[in-house]
Every structure is written in C-alpha cells, then in structure tokens.
Chains A and B, each alone.
Chain A
C-alpha cells in the first residue's frame, strides 16, 4: 500500500478549510473572532504523543466519526484557557455564571464543540462524497495525551496514528485551542492511496519519518554539547506535513539569530537553525575562549553561531544519510538575525517553485536546562524525500 503526497495535501487542505468553518461558527455563536494559525498532519507514535501533550492539563470535547470517514475528533483547550472561553460564552448568552455553576459552563462548551466540529467535518463529507456520521459530543478533562481517545492512543502504540492539528487563536482575546482529527488508520491509508507514481511513499516507510526527526536532532544536540560543554536535551522532534505558506507562521515573528543551509544530494532542501537572541549570546559566550564575552549580537556571536551551525548541520544530515542510506552535502552557513517569519520567507520561496506542501522536521533542543533553546527546521524537497524513502531496502 502506498500513500500519495498529493492526497495528503488535499486532506490537509480540507482540515484547514474545516478549521476556518469552525472559527466562523465560534464567531457567529459567541462573537469571538479567531484566526486559524496553521494546520499540519503527522504520523505519530505513542512517544511523540506523550512529548506533544506532556505536562499540560486539558479540557475538551470529543466526537466519534463513522461512515465514509472513521475516527475521532477532539476540540481541546488548556484548562486555564477553558475558563476564559466559558466566561466569554456565558457573557454572550447572558447567563449568570455564579448562580448556575460549572454545569452550564460544561454544557455550553460541549455544545460549542459540537457545532465547531460539525463545521470542521462538513468539507470532508463533500470531498469524499459520502455521509459521515457523528456520535454525540462528550465533555472530557485530562492531563497529557489522555485528552485523546483511548482508541487513538492504542493505535499510536501499534502502528502510529495520523494526527491532524489546526491551531486557532483569538484576534482580540487571550484564547487559543486546537482541533485534532485522528482518522482510523487502515481506512485513512486506503483514502490516501493515489495513482501518481512520482509522489508515493510506501506506507510501511512512514514510520521512518520519526527516525529521521530523532536521528538528526539527536546528533545536532550532541554537537552543541561538545562545542559548549552545556547540557542539551532534545525536547520535541516531529515531522509535520504543512502547507508551505504556513511554515513562517509556525516559526513566529520573534527575533531570531541563526544560520540557513542549502542541502544538496538525496534529498536536497534547506536546514534552518534558530536561537532566540538570549540563547545565541549564552551559546556564543560558552564557546569563546578565556574571558571574552559579548552582551549583544556582534561579530563574535555571529562567528560562533556559524561555526556551531556548521557542525550541528553536519551531524543532522549524517543522521539522515544513515537512515536513508544516501549522501547529502550542505552549503556554507548564511547568517541571519531577523524576524522569524522573514527568515523563512526566502526558504519557502525557493521550495515553493516545486511544491505547495512541505515535510518539516521541527526539533527543539533545550540547552543547559531551561536557560537556552534552539529550534531546527529541516525542509527537504518532498519528491526527493519520497524517492529516497521508496528506494530503501524492504523492511521485515
């Protein structure tokens, strides 16, 4: 069985459009204007689910899907955000919160979830030209990945689960939440099979994605440790499939210091290593000999970040080359110090000449406990990555 990248792109588009519908529903019901940040899809295992949802407490509304598309959909908010939403909903419906207590709040959140998920799913039924039935909504509260349905967690243990995530954030209010869609694995793989030979990845190779993410980031983190003597830890590493135009938004518009590399070989692509300004200075000072330090981003920091970036990138692509059994080279570093979205603009521009969606490996490395952080974004050419994965020898 093979998965067609274009089909995956089509489903990502449906999820993104669905999330916009859900945002509209919220605006109509409660007058809250939401922006759909980005929609991504990844095949995740139990350990990635644990990392993604770790140390957070959620409130959610869960709905089962049956028929043309089977699986589960969850609207989830972090607990403190749920209180914000409840108050906004009660204001909108003019309900006296203090006298009615949390039962009303729960039922209004459940009703809202029901309507938003309905909007989210409509487009999918149209695309598949079939009916999708929804089970009644269920209000849930849980810590960590337990906010997701048991079936999905079980599937993640066995063969991985496709996780669609759309993030919605308030335009004028401090409110953000995520819509998750977890289609039933076997049926969804059938839906993803296509005819375009050049864009297909054998389904049993999808698990290699996680290896790619882990190997690369693990090597890069090891290199930071060797160069600086600071403790490093790979916090999160995931391979997501996102619309290229959504990549800059994922990086955000804070100021970053970093390096951008062009990769050549199989696959070609780009690798971006970014530090927030404070982390860049911490790292650079740790790398400098003797007492020389810099308080701002100057030529010494630039030199140190370039040198470190070079070594991290070599480690990262060595990890890939091992998994894919190919040869990959990288260009000299391009130093950048700018807004995150602007840094990604030429990268998505260049890839955008060949593709509309991208596999993005997004890894966060913690440095010296919580003192510093480094984000690595790897964007391989999707067709070349598909080719490299397809060419791997059969696995047992």
Chain B
C-alpha cells in the first residue's frame, strides 16, 4: 500500500535519446520523444521485473557505412536483450511493444520508406527472438512521443496532431 502511494507520487523518468537504449529493474518510467520514421521498441519481462526501451533509426546495420549498433533494429535489439538478461530477465518471457515507423516525407529518390522498412525489420526480429507482441502503434504520417510505465505495463503514446494520447 505504502509502496503504491510512493510510486504514484514520484516514479523517476529515464529519457532515452535517438540511437540510445536503457534497461531498468524498478518502476522507472522509460520515455523517448521524436519518434518519426524511427521506432521506439519496448521489451518487458514482467515475471522478473526487467524493462528496456530502445530508439532505433534504421532497419539494418549492413546498409550503413559505420556506426553505433544502437542505431539499427537488427543490431540494437540484441543489445537490449543481452543487457536485460544480465539484469535478470529470461529470454523466453519477453514481450514487446513497437511504436513509430511513420512516413512523414516522400522523395522521388526513395524506394520503400525508412518507416516501413523499420517496421518490417522489427517484425522479423521479434519472430527471430520469439518475442510476443504486446502492442503496436505504427505507420501513419505523424510523429510520436512514448512513455512506458513498468508499474502498469503500458505504453502511452502522444501525437502532435490534435495533441491526442493513447495507451496500448
């Protein structure tokens, strides 16, 4: 009871930037903003109380010349999973949420947009690691801000259009 009250009063918030990730083992709220064509991917093992959030920019590392592995879906997700396992998570208990991948710009030089390729890469990675999909909010042509609250195990998404908020 007391613990619940404390949590409502002041759950700390961890802000995650682009091409960054964070793993927490308490009720710290994980938050990231500026998710346009990028993806915010949340992973959670509720049994062991371990949560992770990564903000990736691009689908695969191999299409880039160099870079930080946390920039890509295919190299970033394993980093989060590994750190979550080190923090006590079990790989087979992971469930995840995928948010973002919008198509905000279209240029004549484009093939498929980065947004849709990011979504496809996340789907493939979830299948590869056997992660259950707990919720998605992807596509469209608008930006999103994301907050994951481990206490309620829900992702709150804020969009600029009409300033709407939804929870998945």
Contacts and interface: CB of A to CB of B under 8 A. Distances in A.
Interface in A321-378: 331, 334, 336-350, 352-356
Contacts of B102: 342
A354 B64 CA distance: 6
Contacts of B33: 253, 339, 341-342
* Residue among A331, A336, A338, A340 facing the most chain B CB atoms (10 A cut-off): A338
B66 to A, nearest CB: 6
B114 A248 contact: no
Contacts of B63: 353
A346 B34 contact: no
A346 B36 contact: yes
Contacts of B15: 35
A343 B104 contact: yes
A262 B107 contact: yes
B58 A344 contact: no
Interface string B82-111: 000000000000000000001111111100
B145 A348 contact: no
A264 to B, nearest CB: 8
Contact of B143 (A245, A334, A341): A341
A125 to B, nearest CB: 24
B64 A353 contact: yes
Nearest to B70: A245
Nearest to A356: B67
A345 B160 contact: no
Contacts of A266: none
B144 interface: yes
A338 B71 contact: no
B19 interface: yes
A260 interface: yes
Given A334-B107, A342-B104, A350 B160 contact: no
Given A336-B104, A350-B114, A353-B58, A344 B34 contact: yes
A118 B71 CA distance: 30
B140 to A, nearest CB: 11
A140 interface: no
A171 B68 CA distance: 26
Contacts of B81: none
A346 B58 contact: no
A352 B105 contact: no
Contact of A352 (B71, B113, B144): B71
Contacts of A171: 13
A245 B105 contact: no
A111 B20 CA distance: 32
B64 A345 contact: no
B151 interface: no
Nearest to A268: B109
Interface in B102-137: 102-109, 113-115
8 contacts: A245-B68, A340-B34, A345-B37, A345-B57, A346-B113, A348-B18, A353-B64, A354-B65
Interface of B: 13, 15, 17-20, 33-38, 57-58, 63-68, 71, 102-109, 113-115, 142-145, 160-161
Interface of A: 35, 171, 245-246, 248-249, 253, 255, 260, 262, 264, 331, 334, 336-350, 352-356
Given A334-B106, A337-B160, 6 more contacts: A248-B18, A334-B104, A342-B104, A343-B104, A345-B37, A352-B58
Per CB-CB distance, the 4 closest pairs between chain A and chain B, nearest first, are A342-B143, A341-B34, A345-B36, A346-B37
